[in-house]
Amino acid sequence: MSFAFEPDESFAAALDAADPLARFRARFHLPLGSDGSPLVYLAGNSLGLQPLGVGGAVQRELDDWARLGVDAHFAGRAPWYSYHELVRDSLATLVGARPHEVVAMNSLTVNLHLMLVTFYRPTPARHKILIEDRAFPSDRYAVGSQLGYHGHDPQHGLIVARPRAGEATLRTEDLLELIERRAGEIALVLLGGVNYYTGQWFDLARVAAAAREQGCIVGFDLAHAVGNVPLELHDWRADFAVWCSYKYLNAGPGAVAGCFIHETHARRVDLPRFAGWWGNDPEQRFFEPEFAPRPTADGWQLSNPPILALAPLRVALAAFAEAGMAALRLKSERLTAYLEWWIERAGSERFELLTPREPAARGCQLSLRVRERARDAVEALRQAGIVADYRQPDVVRLAPVPLYNTFREVWRVGRLLAA
């Protein structure tokens, strides 16, 4: 898909005027600068903005707690006993799953460990874990500790898929070739949906198919993909996936995370797992002396859900249900294309775009390598009222989010970069 852009502010204003999603911006709290005007917030890939309804949603649960005490578990306006089920259908839609394949619980890395308990079953021959270069640090810590727990050297047990020399991102054909070539050693392929550093959106369907063909378990970390790009986990037949909810899902700092387990596994109650009472049959949680997991993703739950943390997620997901990922994706492609157009005008002697130029290989985020004085560039953006994300030593990440960012904001950023 190609777009034609112009450098005038009036052009950006016209795009905003024609934007069918423009109304959603008014549903978020926008951080303000010292002059009282909204900052240009391009850090939704680190922490999304707060939806306006979050405060009221949390207050309702506080009021039910004050009014009903323990009885709010069953008599509250949204009974706490089954509260996590209120976000199930929306999450399933976002990740392309069936409702019984998803559950909102814990945090991302906790969920990753729980999935590895079930799905990382090393043998002497096949015990290695394949991850991408520059995987999110917590993923690397998690798989390294799992390797060590099972008696394998974390350094030698990791296979890292790296880009070719002189390139910033992985080629799909190289990743698939690596899986095929070393399949006899690989127990698990763990890949980020969208790489947090470069913004590359991997071809998850082909990766899942290649891993399955070679007898490898495949799991995805969707922290930077959920709410950002279209996902079809059930049809891709990923074995599992995990994600957080505080980036593009806008559910708040430390928000309740999510987990997907394909129904071929979710329905199996014989799979090894760590157990807790909330993974049991709801009718038997207080009475059954032996753990009998539910034959759904709920069977991997440990503890009762944190209601005050789930309430913001429930509000945030409503925006996605109303807007639809197809419309969000279309606007996202145009926003990033417009930003890329400005980066090209700024010149390659100043910036190197690390993110793939093909829209099908990226989401909202563009990562720039600043060739000189990267910290100064970030400070210049700050002084101009633009919130970006800096990754040492020289990368600035810019993420125009279609729910609340505008074309005129991209125009402001682009004009500054070009200057």
Give the pLDDT confidence of 150-165 residue by residue, as tens digits: 999 999 999 999 999 9
H helix runs in 18-153, sequence order? 54-68, 72-75, 88-95, 108-119, 137-149
Give the Cβ contact number of residue 86 at 10 Å. 16
Distance from C-alpha of 90 to C-alpha of 97, rounded to nearest angstrom: 10
Average pLDDT on 81-89 reads 97
- In contact, 326 and 20? CB cutoff 8 Å: no
Average pLDDT on 351-357 reads 95
Evaluate if residue 288 carries a pLDDT over 80.
Answer: no
The 8 Å CB, 24+ separation contacts for 279-286 are: 282/81, 282/82
pLDDT value of position 377: 87
Rounded to 5°, the CA angle 138-143-149 comes to: 125
Average pLDDT on 257-277 reads 97
Evaluate if residue 348 carries a pLDDT over 90.
Answer: no
In degrees and rounded to multiples of 5, residue 321 shows phi and psi of -65, -35
For the chain, the domains span: 9-30+324-418, 60-320
Give Cα 305 to chain centroid, integer Å.
20
Lowest mean pLDDT among 125-129, 152-156, 255-259, 375-379: 375-379
Distance from C-alpha of 112 to C-alpha of 144, rounded to nearest angstrom: 12
Question: For residue 16, which amino acid is it?
Answer: D
The string of pLDDT tens digits covering residues 308-332 is 999 999 999 999 999 999 999 999 9
In degrees and rounded to multiples of 5, residue 218 shows phi and psi of -130, 130
Distance from C-alpha of 29 to C-alpha of 47, rounded to nearest angstrom: 13
Evaluate if residue 349 carries a pLDDT over 90.
Answer: no
pLDDT band at 1; cut points 50, 70, 90: low
Evaluate if residue 287 carries a pLDDT over 80.
Answer: no
pLDDT value of position 267: 96
Distance from C-alpha of 278 to C-alpha of 310, rounded to nearest angstrom: 15
Distance from C-alpha of 38 to C-alpha of 7, rounded to nearest angstrom: 22
Segment holding 188, helix H or strand E: strand 186-192
- In contact, 86 and 224? CB cutoff 8 Å: no
Distances (CA, A) of 213 to 37, 148, 165, 173, 238: 54, 27, 28, 15, 12
pLDDT value of position 281: 86
Tokens 């405060």 found at: 55
- In contact, 102 and 297? CB cutoff 8 Å: yes
The string of pLDDT tens digits covering residues 203-242 is 999 999 999 999 999 999 999 999 999 999 999 999 999 9
- In contact, 159 and 129? CB cutoff 8 Å: yes
Q: Residue 91: which of 260, 304, 214 has the closest Cα? A: 260
Per DSSP, the three-state class of 124 is coil
Q: Residue 248: which of 279, 223, 221 has the closest Cα? A: 223
List residues bridging with 389 in a β-sheet.
397
Q: Which fold has domain 9-30+324-418?
A: Aspartate Aminotransferase, domain 1 (3.90.1150)
List residues bridging with 398 in a β-sheet.
366
Tokens representing residue 369 in the block: 């390598």
pLDDT value of position 189: 98
The string of pLDDT tens digits covering residues 88-119 is 999 999 999 999 999 999 999 999 999 999 99
Distance from C-alpha of 33 to C-alpha of 39, rounded to nearest angstrom: 6
Instruction: Provide the CATH number for the domain formed by 60-320 in this structure.
Output: 3.40.640.10
- Better pLDDT: 128 or 371: 128
pLDDT value of position 140: 96
List residues bridging with 260 in a β-sheet.
102, 241
pLDDT value of position 285: 84
Distance from C-alpha of 304 to C-alpha of 418, rounded to nearest angstrom: 51
pLDDT value of position 97: 98
Tokens representing residue 361 in the block: 């290989």
- In contact, 240 and 119? CB cutoff 8 Å: yes
Give the Cβ contact number of residue 125 at 10 Å. 9
Tokens representing residue 194 in the block: 């969208």
Per DSSP, the three-state class of 245 is coil
pLDDT band at 347; cut points 50, 70, 90: confident
Tokens representing residue 170 in the block: 């992985």
Tokens representing residue 85 in the block: 């089920």
Question: For residue 153, which amino acid is it?
Answer: D
Sign of CA dihedral 28, 45, 171, 187: negative
Return the beta strands (E) in 90-180 as ranges: 102-104, 128-132, 158-161
